[in-house]
A and B are shown apart, each in its own frame.
Chain A
Amino acid sequence: MKKANPALFSTRRIAPPWAKMIMAAFLLFAGGHAANDALAGPAGKDAAGKGLAIAIEADRRDHGFKDYAADMTMTLRSSNGSESHRRLSIKVLEGRDDGDKSLIVFSRPRDISGTALLTFAHKKGNDDQWIYLPALKRVKRISSTNRSGAFVGSEFAYEDLIRPEVERYTYLWLRDEAVDGQPAHAVERTPAYQNSGYRRQIVWYDQAEFRVLRIEFFDRNNALLKRFTASDYQKYLGKYWRPALMIMINLQNDKSTNLSWKNYEFKNGYNNAYFNKNRIKNLR
């Protein structure tokens, strides 16, 4: 492996998390219209049922986008305030029967420019993932089993970004309260999958559109670990809400990571052939 190019040691974990980011962007933070009715039951009577209903509704509202592309800038801030940046572009093809396909191409930092990550998400089992390392001109299939580790120095873990399939958690509605002035449902969810780094999470969905406004993550010792906020939501195709800014603050080590999204484009006409491991060498 070689020289000036750093991508040499295939960064097997740069990849998975960012791939998932897409899914996260979508499924977590989606919205639409139409659903408070289903949830109108008396608060507190069936907290588990209500929590699940809210999660299902949030998930339902993001179906049917088909595909999209976006650019993202990631800012990593250390506890002493120093910053580093990553920049990447993302393309996503919505899965019909199975999970989504996504393609991420990094452009910053420069030493990994051109590094590409192709992910086939699966509803069951591990995802398929290939990384392209431009320095070696090499496409490698990599393992995608990891979930809980922080990646590339950011405060996002793989599981924070993974597609939040409804079935991955059990739910408990806690209360309704305002988040920054917006009426919201506070729902506690507990990971039902293996290898999670969290005991539980609390998610705030806004009552109007079921967009995720905030998530608090509790570590395995049940201590508050991180707080996620999503803001500057915009609606695309009259239906799909996307936040322009995501912030993850680690409350235990004072580090934070911002994700700034722009240039969302929907309905680009992508198909399965586009998401091919033999095509990712020429994307930079």
Chain B
Amino acid sequence: MLLFKVGYFLCVARNGFNWRCVGRSLRATCGVVLVRAPGVVLGCLYLSLMAPAAIAAEWELAGFAAAELRLFPNSTIDAAQNSETVSPAFTLQPELHVQSDSGSDRFVAIPFLKADQDDSRRSHGDLRELYWRRQGDAWALLVGLNRVFWGVAEARHVIDIINQTDQVESPFAEDKLGQGMLNLQYFAAVGTFDAYLLTGFRDRTFPDDDARLRGLLPIDADNPVFEASSRRRHVDWALRWSTAIADWDIGLSHFRGTGREPRLPTSLRADGTAQFVPHYDIIDQTGLDLQFTHDAWIWKLEGFSRRGQGRRFIALAGGFEYTLFNLAGQGYDLGLLAEYLYDDRDAVAPPTRFDDDIFFGFRLALNDAAGTEIKGGAILDRHSHAASFSIEAGWRLAERWRLNIEGLAFHRIPARDLLYGLRRDDYLQLQLSRFF
């Protein structure tokens, strides 16, 4: 009986979700993904038809709703962009977690909805996660949509490639779109092996033509060009091995398929104005991540070698984090971070701002009842001398309420720098979340 309830809930969740997606933005890609990710369908089928009766032992409905205000103090670079200085948005992210009695089977659903008053493309929906996972003694199988993070660096997530970036959510590339996958995991004495089949390519999200944080030119996100003839149906794969030995954490990975980072050549619109058109190429990317943790020091290095976008190139991020614990006897912990970012891609490849940059940052945790945390950083380009500054802070206002503040500022951005198109999009964002 419970099985039917699971199936029923799924359908309602899915249909309701699609309906809402359609409501505000037809372009919402969740529908596409559902159709294109056979894994999800398989997972649902499994749950509703084949799963043992032990399913649905533990249910948990959680998630959050958040109201958000973005303040843009500067005028836009392009008169065609919205000049509002205050931009409200709303986020809803419920989460359903179901776990079988034995703990061997899990089902997770995390839909995501965003409504933004001033950026119609930022009003979007996604299925961040919708998967079934079975854990065996030495292995695990996951089918469905999921998010997977790889890497150790803070300033730039160099090797992280399984999921597409949800660029409209935030310009920091921290938010990712759910990716359809079949993931087999094997736990061996020498480490953990992961094999991924990745189905249903997700286009990177971009701000609307008239939106903030758009960049120099509008982006024709609806008409991307794919190197793969099967376009979004191209099946990508990836392998990863990771382990921890003494003070070291080590990971090796390889990805083959349609790269998540598009090239952005320009083209002319019918009205004669220029735009960027995303081009997605087939790439091979081999990645390495290393972390050495000793006493209050953490040393990090991650990098990749990529083929398929111009000549083969490498990218690296490496540095340290040193923590001053119990600052002034107050229980505060202050982490000091520095990283060097390097990338030797040529002009054919997707543009990056991290070609030769230095990052300095800090992380302050007050260890108080409110869980107050503040993080800040600066990224300086050694060539163009462009600088960007970011700050993030958050604390609990009450048991279910949390306030987060996020700020981004640009300084001295020369015309040749990639950030030139963002130079007037400094913002301060307040987000009030209620968890349920």
Given contacts A3-B170, A109-B371, A282-B106, contact A11 B326 (CB under 8 A): no
For residue B169, CB closer than 8 A to chain A, the reply is yes
Q: Are A9 and B185 within 8 A (Cβ)?
A: no
For residue B392, CB closer than 8 A to chain A, the reply is yes
Q: Are B367 and A3 within 8 A (Cβ)?
A: no
Determine the chain B residues whose CB is within 8 A of the CB of A84 once the complex forms: 369-370, 396, 399
State how many angstroms separate the Cβ of B152 from the closest Cβ of chain A: 8
Interface set, chain A 269-284, CB cutoff 8 A to B: 273, 276-279, 282, 284
Residues 175-194 of B, flagged 1 when their CB comes within 8 A of A and 0 if not, give 11000000001010000100
For residue B231, CB closer than 8 A to chain A, the reply is no
Q: How far is the CA of A273 from the CA of B368 in the complex (A)?
A: 34
CB-based nearest B residue for A146: B325
Given contacts A148-B326, A150-B367, A284-B60, contact A111 B402 (CB under 8 A): yes
Q: Are A149 and B133 within 8 A (Cβ)?
A: no
Given contacts A9-B363, A9-B373, A146-B333, contact A141 B323 (CB under 8 A): no
Residues 302-341 of B, flagged 1 when their CB comes within 8 A of A and 0 if not, give 0000000000000000000001011000011101000000
For residue B82, CB closer than 8 A to chain A, the reply is no
Q: How far is the CA of A148 from the CA of B64 in the complex (A)?
A: 34
Q: How far is the CA of A14 from the CA of B371 in the complex (A)?
A: 9
Residues 177-200 of A, flagged 1 when their CB comes within 8 A of B and 0 if not, give 000000000000000000001000
In the complex, identify which listed stretch (B45-53, B288-296, B410-418) lies at the interface while the others stay far away.
B288-296
For residue B436, CB closer than 8 A to chain A, the reply is yes
For residue B256, CB closer than 8 A to chain A, the reply is no
Q: Are A85 and B298 within 8 A (Cβ)?
A: no
For residue B4, CB closer than 8 A to chain A, the reply is no
Q: How far is the CA of A118 from the CA of B436 in the complex (A)?
A: 26
CB-based nearest A residue for B435: A110
For residue A175, CB closer than 8 A to chain B, the reply is no
Given contacts A9-B375, A12-B323, A84-B399, contact A4 B367 (CB under 8 A): no
Q: How far is the CA of A197 from the CA of B297 in the complex (A)?
A: 21
Interface residue count on the B side (C-beta < 8 Å): 66
For residue B148, CB closer than 8 A to chain A, the reply is yes
Given contacts A4-B91, A143-B298, A145-B325, contact A9 B374 (CB under 8 A): yes
Determine the chain B residues whose CB is within 8 A of the CB of A234 once the complex forms: none
Q: How far is the CA of A143 from the CA of B337 in the complex (A)?
A: 14
Q: Are B373 and A6 within 8 A (Cβ)?
A: yes
Residues 151-194 of A, flagged 1 when their CB comes within 8 A of B and 0 if not, give 11110000000000000000000000000000000000000000
Q: How far is the CA of A148 from the CA of B244 in the complex (A)?
A: 27
For residue A2, CB closer than 8 A to chain B, the reply is yes
Interface set, chain A 117-155, CB cutoff 8 A to B: 126, 128, 130, 136-143, 145-146, 148-154
For residue B365, CB closer than 8 A to chain A, the reply is yes
Q: How far is the CA of A197 from the CA of B328 in the complex (A)?
A: 12
Determine the chain B residues whose CB is within 8 A of the CB of A4 once the complex forms: 64, 66, 91, 93, 402, 404, 431, 433
Q: Are A273 and B371 within 8 A (Cβ)?
A: no
Q: Are A142 and B392 within 8 A (Cβ)?
A: no
Determine the chain A residues whose CB is within 8 A of the CB of B383 once the complex forms: none
Q: Contacting B331 at CB < 8 Å: which of A3, A139, A150, A273? A: A150
Q: How far is the CA of A19 from the CA of B359 in the complex (A)?
A: 32
Q: Contacting B394 at CB < 8 Å: which of A8, A13, A149, A277? A: A8
Q: How far is the CA of A278 from the CA of B148 in the complex (A)?
A: 11
State how many angstroms separate the Cβ of A22 from the closest Cβ of chain B: 19
For residue B97, CB closer than 8 A to chain A, the reply is yes
Given contacts A138-B149, A149-B367, A278-B185, contact A85 B392 (CB under 8 A): no
Given contacts A112-B371, A152-B371, contact A6 B296 (CB under 8 A): no
Q: How far is the CA of A110 from the CA of B93 in the complex (A)?
A: 13
Determine the chain B residues whose CB is within 8 A of the CB of A128 once the complex forms: 244, 247, 293
Determine the chain A residues whose CB is within 8 A of the CB of B242 once the complex forms: 278
Q: Are A3 and B431 within 8 A (Cβ)?
A: yes
For residue B62, CB closer than 8 A to chain A, the reply is yes
State how many angstroms separate the Cβ of A13 from the closest Cβ of chain B: 5
State how many angstroms separate the Cβ of A140 from the closest Cβ of chain B: 8
Given contacts A113-B62, A146-B333, A278-B185, contact A136 B170 (CB under 8 A): no
For residue B135, CB closer than 8 A to chain A, the reply is yes
Residues of B within 8 A of A (CB): 60, 62, 64, 66, 91, 93, 97, 106, 133, 135, 137-138, 140, 147-149, 152, 169-170, 172, 174-176, 185, 187, 192, 242, 244, 247, 249, 291, 293-298, 323, 325-326, 331-333, 335, 363, 365, 367-371, 373-375, 392, 394, 396, 399-400, 402, 404, 406, 431, 433, 435-436
8 contacts between A and B (CB under 8 A): A11-B367, A110-B64, A111-B433, A136-B174, A137-B176, A141-B298, A150-B367, A152-B369
Further pairs besides A6-B402, A13-B365, A136-B174: 14, Cβ < 8 Å: A3-B433, A4-B402, A4-B433, A111-B64, A111-B396, A137-B148, A139-B149, A143-B293, A146-B296, A146-B326, A149-B325, A151-B367, A152-B369, A282-B140
Residues of A within 8 A of B (CB): 1-6, 8-14, 76, 78, 84-85, 108-113, 126, 128, 130, 136-143, 145-146, 148-154, 197, 273, 276-279, 282, 284
6 A-B pairs with the lowest CB-CB distances in the bound complex, closest first: A153-B369, A149-B326, A110-B435, A9-B373, A146-B325, A4-B433
